[in-house]
Amino acid sequence: MSLRKAVIAAVVGAQVIMAGAIDASAEEATVVWKPVPSVQTDIQYEMFPSEIPESGRVPAVVRLLSSIPFYDKYEDSGGPPKGYLAPQEVQIVKAGMPWSEAHNWWKVRTWVGDKWINVPSNAVDVAPPKQVSLLDNTLMYANPNTNTPSTGTLAPQDVGVVAATKRWFAADSFDNSSMTWLQIHTTWLGDQWIRIPLNRIGTLLSIEPEKAYFMNETSITNSVGEITAEFVSPFNSTAYRVETENGVQWVFSRGAKIEASNEILKLDTRTTLFKQPNSYGEEAAILLPQSVDVFERIDNNPYGNAPGEWYHAHTSAGDGWVNKQFADPIDAKPTDVAIQLNSNAQLMSYPTSGTWYKFAQAAPQILHPICYWDDASGNRWYQIDSYVGLVWLKLNPYTDRIVGQGPDPAVEMSFFTLYYNSAKIDGDELKVQDRRVGFMRDNAWYVSIPFLSEGFRYDQSESGGLITYQSSRFSYGFRIQSGSQQAITLWNGKEVRQVNLKAAPQILSDGELYLSEADVRTLFGSLIAKVDTSLTFTLQAYNVTALAIPTSINSDQMELNVSFRDSIQQIPVDASPELRPKLTLEELGAPPKEAVQTFSKWVAPLQWDMALFQYSAVKSLKVGPNQLRARLEIGGRILWLQDFAVQRTK
């Protein structure tokens, strides 16, 4: 072995041309394929796959055939380089993969530290690795020409490489199946030539035998094998040799590792027994609660077809695989409600399985669940006995109904959408770009009504000093006057009631009318929150439908029930009930103090962002006709209003 060292430096303007120090195992070699000590761990996030020489997938040294610019970071390549590397051999720190492509990034070691270069494949020379592992019977030739007679056949083995044809590493196909010539050394014929695909150039490494399950590999599907070796190639993903009952197979995944175990597993609820650790595979049986003897287990399943651990166990129904995610929840509760499905529902094997069971679904119908279970995300699941057996489903919170959860509702209300406004806090002012839309006075914000109206979609009109704001989407509106602490709420353009304000609306020099934030809540029904350096205004909108308000009652009181499906993203379940709409039931013409007001009560979760609430307002009736009004409001904003007559018959 000879040691060649060269250090050349020349300054041309502001650029540096340099060469580094390298080791060569032979005087003729241009590249050395061997592990090199790493300088330091590079924590920098990279936008492309990369490898280090220690992996055996990139060369330790390459020869540059032309002057190449270098950069401190590869992200800097759009700007001027820090200098240039003259044609020379450079030591590799890491390289982008695949490194034999038309252009590639290399991190190289230089006398001024590690630098990045981007080199066209025709501007670099790379020597072949010192050894390759032949995986198949391979023909030998005296010359790199298949038109000449073969000199013999090599069985699968490791062979030493002494040379290669020019640009042996250049790929002509996307999968690196291009054939290339390598010159190898034999003990009986001397140096010979072999022709193999680029993706078969690599090293076969023995590994500790590892049993694994393979679900969907090309050559192994839904079966178990034993990994006995790995093939590391510069031109392909690492391949693994797997011994199976059908012979040796090659795969690019280590599968799901199966480890020996000796434990007792208690199955507390109905659990599926699978023939293989695959939730989409064949079911062997449905197990009743029992304890099973586990003799193998999988802790990490890379296929993602089921979370949690898999256990290979002796059970009452024979040997098979179980996973506690494919079992009924232990804390499911019985229920006597009915479900009215108004849309198709997917039927799942279990709530935690994520598996659509046999692609079955329930059509619109009335269902009678056996039990229910609430998951950690807030979804409520129901178990039913279906045409494919016991399965679980979730409701569509926008279309389906829970029947029998208290009295039948006369009115249904459901969350529809959000309207949103936001202004940046700038000292004692609120601003949208350069426009002032609010100010601070006496530790309270005052907000521009025109600004809120733009985001909340209200139209403004003025008559006789009174200013009316009418929702362009809904029937609600309100009327105010500058300097007055009284406002009038409107429904379909008609006055409904007078609302007292905390502060009189103010007109400032900019000509805009301002409301205190408390009155913004009252008149717009808006949620107000400080988010970072902004004040946000959120307007919740609802759809309300009157189902069946009774017209005749033989009782001294009437109970009006409202079913309410609301989003719990803006207002959590445990928030103050006053943040949600209130229900008012009153007799027309009676004093306001006789009105019955009630707030919503939580009933059940529907999904992670939606829950079911209920209202129940009870109003005394006089014998004969009763003229009543029901309304739903947030603050003073009316969501729904209906006048109706009820005849008390006795």
pLDDT interval class at 173 (50, 70, 90): low
Residue 519 lies in a domain: yes
Helices (H), 385-481: 449-456
What is the span of the domain harbouring residue 81? 8-125
pLDDT interval class at 13 (50, 70, 90): very low
Please state the pTM of the whole predicted model. 0.68
Q: What is the pLDDT of residues 479-505, one digit of tens each?
A: 999 999 999 999 999 999 999 999 999
Q: 175 with 102, same domain? A: no
Please report, for the domain that includes residue 519, its CATH number.
Answer: 3.30.457.10
Cβ neighbours, 10 Å, residue 457: 13
220 exposure class (CB count in 10 Å sphere: 0-12, 13-18, 19+): buried
Q: What is the pLDDT of residues 288-302, one digit of tens each?
A: 999 999 999 999 888
How big is the chain by its Cα radius of gyration, in Å? 38
> To the nearest 5 percent, what fractions of the chain are helix, strand and coil?
5, 55, 40
Residue 267 lies in a domain: yes
Cβ neighbours, 10 Å, residue 483: 10
CB distance 90 to 109 below 8 Å: yes
617 vs 73 pLDDT, higher one: 617
The C-alpha atoms of residue 291 and residue 313 are separated, in whole angstroms, by 10
List residues bridging with 263 in a β-sheet: 294
pLDDT interval class at 308 (50, 70, 90): confident
Q: 174 with 214, same domain? A: no
Centroid of chain to Cα 127: 44
pLDDT interval class at 579 (50, 70, 90): confident
Residue 608 lies in a domain: no
Q: 119 with 20, same domain? A: yes
Centroid of chain to Cα 113: 40
Strand pairing report for 552-553 and 637-648: parallel
Q: 521 with 479, same domain? A: yes
Half-sphere exposure of 494 (CA within 13 A, CB side): 4
Structural domains in the chain (count): 6
Q: 181 with 155, same domain? A: yes
Choose the final residue of a domain: 110, 125, 140: 125
Residue 462 lies in a domain: yes
Q: Which helix (H) or strand (E) holds 519?
A: helix 517-524
Q: 75 with 175, same domain? A: no
Q: What's the first-to-final CA gap in the chain, in angstroms?
A: 115
Name the residue among 476, 535, 484 with its Cα closest to residue 513. 484
Q: In this structure, is the dihedral angle defined by the CA atoms of residues 108, 109, 110 and 115, taken in order, positive or negative?
A: positive
Q: 375 with 423, same domain? A: no
Q: 38 with 102, same domain? A: yes
Q: What is the pLDDT of residues 314-328, one digit of tens each?
A: 999 999 999 999 999
Residue 617 lies in a domain: no
The C-alpha atoms of residue 476 and residue 534 are separated, in whole angstroms, by 28
Q: 241 with 160, same domain? A: no
CB distance 613 to 602 below 8 Å: yes
% residues pLDDT > 70 (the chain): 91
Q: In this structure, is the dihedral angle defined by the CA atoms of residues 431, 432, 433 and 437, taken in order, positive or negative?
A: negative
Q: 315 with 395, same domain? A: no
CB distance 350 to 328 below 8 Å: yes
Choose the final residue of a domain: 287, 322, 357: 322
Give whole-number Cα distances, 576 to 68, 248, 540, 573, in Å.
Answer: 68, 66, 16, 9
Min mean pLDDT across 141-145, 371-375, 566-570 is at: 566-570
Q: 359 with 312, same domain? A: no
- Give the 3-state secondary structure of residue 122: helix
Give the max Cα distance, the chain. Answer: 118
3-state secondary structure 29-93: CCCCCCCCCCCCCCCCCCCCCEECHHHCCCCCEEEECCCEEEECCHHHHHCCCCEEECCCEEEEE
Please report, for the domain that includes residue 377, its CATH number.
Answer: 2.30.30
Min mean pLDDT across 358-362, 403-407, 428-432 is at: 403-407
The C-alpha atoms of residue 627 and residue 616 are separated, in whole angstroms, by 19
Segments of 492-533 assigned E as strands: 494-500, 506-507, 513-516, 526-531
Q: 427 with 448, same domain? A: yes
Choose the final residue of a domain: 525, 558, 583: 525
Q: Which helix (H) or strand (E) holds 476?
A: strand 476-480
- Say yes or no to pLDDT of 20 above 70: no
15-32 residues labelled b (16+ CB within 10 A) or e (exposed):
ebbbbbebbbeeeebebb
Residue 247 lies in a domain: yes
The C-alpha atoms of residue 475 and residue 544 are separated, in whole angstroms, by 12
**Helices 517-524 and 449-456, axial angle in degrees (round to 10):** 40
- Give the 3-state secondary structure of residue 227: strand
Q: What is the pLDDT of residues 441-486, one digit of tens each?
A: 989 999 999 999 999 999 999 998 899 999 999 999 999 999 999 9
Q: In this structure, is the dihedral angle defined by the CA atoms of residues 268, 273, 278 and 279, taken in order, positive or negative?
A: negative
Residue 638 lies in a domain: no
CB distance 286 to 271 below 8 Å: yes
Residue 315 lies in a domain: yes
pLDDT interval class at 608 (50, 70, 90): confident
pLDDT of residue 631: 96
Ramachandran angles phi, psi of 216, nearest 5°: -145, 35
Dig out the tokens for 379 from the structure.
């979804």
% residues pLDDT > 90 (the chain): 68
Dig out the tokens for 157 from the structure.
């083995």
